[in-house]
């Protein structure tokens, strides 16, 4: 671990029950912020992986995807495997909430990126106060069973599946024209005060919203408020048998790259 990161950890600011790393280090025009709670389950591997992730993003500042395969995360997985040769790193499937993980090191990493506009007048990039999370509100810790897809859990014991891992979110702002990295932060759920049970609750909410009775009750409430809505009237009356609603959730959180 670099001396600077170690000092940042040792002198981290207390936020709630956790001590956070927080510093900015310009590198090749990239603003970098570490806002991580200390390792809880990985025997300080979280800090080591965080440094490796930061080094990777600096060395690979162009963020892109190749169809359904998140190439940037694939490269990150290869990088972490090369750095931590005595552990096993896995690139997760595209629909899973974490991009790469190592059960050996008890660390899971998720990449999030968004476009920020370039301001020609001031010759800098604008800030985005909110970050969109498609379906998961991340905590600082998750269980192995939350990270590893069910079809790959057969070879893992119940003890391993119920054990916890530390979480790192790499949140990046990028140029909309070049996809070049502008700034990034490494954070976890403690930054938003999200604990494990809240993470599970947000994940379960999607299925609960789409339970038939719950969905109908929500739609009927909407119909009472908006009786003029033809779609609601027809859907609730069964007049659209070939149509099925599926509620999706978008979660907006403070963007750690710009929010202090």
Per DSSP (E only), the strands in 46-162 are 90-91, 100-102, 107-116, 118-119, 124-125, 130-133, 141-143
Confidence of residue 169 (pLDDT cuts 50, 70, 90): very high
When divided into structural domains, the chain yields a total of 1
Percentage with pLDDT > 90 across the chain:
49
In a domain, 259, yes or no: no
Can you tell me the distance from the alpha carbon of 14 to that of 11, in angstroms, rounded to the nearest whole number? 9
Distance CA(39)–CA(42), nearest Å, equals 6
| Residue 55 placed within a domain | yes
* pLDDT at 12 > cutoff 50: no
Which class for 185: exposed (0-12), middle (13-18), buried (19 or more C-beta within 10 A)?
A: buried
Domain annotation covers residue 126: yes
Q: Is the pTM of this model over 0.85?
A: no
Tokens at 112, concatenated: 């999030």
The overall average pLDDT reported for the chain is 84
Kindly state the tokens that stand for 166: 């530390």
Does residue 192 form part of some domain? yes
Q: What is the pLDDT of residue 18?
A: 34
Cα dihedral across residues 252, 254, 255, 258: positive or negative: positive
Identify the CA nearest to 8 among candidates 76, 54, 73: 54
The whole domain housing 171 covers: 3-205+248-254
DSSP-assigned beta bridge partners for residue 116: 175
Is position 179 within any domain? yes
Winning range, highest mean pLDDT, from 8-12, 31-35, 204-208: 204-208
Nearest to 84 by CA among 50, 135, 34: 50
Triad 63, 69, 70: Cα angle to 5°? 30
Extract the tokens encoding 189: 């759920």
**Considering the domain boundaries, does residue 224 fall inside one?**
no
User: What value, to the nearest 5°, has the Cα angle with vertex 135 and ends 131 and 141?
Assistant: 85
Strand-pair partners of 14:
19
Is 80 exposed, middle or buried, given 0-12, 13-18 or 19+ CB atoms closer than 10 A?
buried
Are 181 and 199 in contact by the 8 Å Cβ rule? The answer is no
pLDDT band at 97 (very low <50, low <70, confident <90, very high): confident
Q: Are 73 and 99 in contact (CB under 8 A)?
A: yes
Q: Which two tokens stand for residue 59?
A: 């060395």
Q: Hey, how many other C-beta atoms are within 10 angstroms of the C-beta on 226? A: 11
Beta-carbon contacts of residue 37 (< 8 Å; ≥ 6 apart): 15, 18, 19, 20, 140, 188, 190, 191
**Quick one: average pLDDT of 25-53?**
81
Confidence at residue 170, expressed as pLDDT on a 0 to 100 scale: 93
How do beta strands 181-187 and 31-35 pair? Answer: parallel
Distance, in Å, from the CA atom of 189 to the CA atom of 42, rounded to the nearest integer, reads 16
Q: Does some domain include residue 219?
A: no
118-119 and 124-125 strand pairing: antiparallel
99 in a domain, yes or no? yes
Contact assessment for residue 112 and residue 133, using Cβ atoms and an 8 Å cutoff: yes
């Amino acid at each position: 671990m670099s001396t600077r990161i170690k000092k940042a950890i040792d002198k981290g600011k207390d936020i709630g029950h956790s001590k956070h790393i927080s510093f900015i280090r310009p590198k090749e025009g990239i603003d970098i912020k570490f806002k991580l709670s200390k390792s809880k389950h990985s025997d300080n591997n979280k800090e080591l992986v965080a440094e490796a992730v930061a080094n990777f993003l600096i060395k690979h500042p162009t963020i892109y995807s190749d169809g359904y395969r998140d190439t940037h995360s694939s490269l990150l997985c290869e990088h972490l495997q090369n750095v931590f040769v005595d552990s096993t790193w896995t690139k997760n499937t595209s629909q899973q909430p974490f991009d790469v993980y190592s059960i050996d090191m008890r660390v899971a990493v998720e990449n999030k990126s968004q476009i920020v506009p370039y301001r020609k007048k001031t010759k800098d990039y604008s800030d985005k106060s909110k970050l969109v999370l498609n379906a998961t509100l991340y905590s600082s810790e998750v269980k192995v069973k939350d990270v590893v897809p069910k079809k790959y859990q057969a070879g893992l014991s119940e003890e391993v599946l119920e054990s916890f891992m530390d979480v790192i979110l790499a949140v990046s702002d990028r140029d909309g024209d070049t996809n070049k990295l502008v700034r990034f932060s490494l954070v976890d759920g403690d930054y938003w005060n999200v604990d494990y049970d809240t993470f599970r609750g947000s994940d379960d909410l999607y299925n609960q919203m789409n339970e038939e009775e719950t969905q109908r009750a929500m739609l009927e409430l909407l119909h009472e408020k908006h009786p003029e809505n033809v779609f609601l009237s027809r859907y609730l009356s069964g007049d659209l048998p070939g149509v099925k609603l599926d509620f999706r959730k978008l979660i907006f959180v403070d963007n750690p790259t710009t929010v202090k």
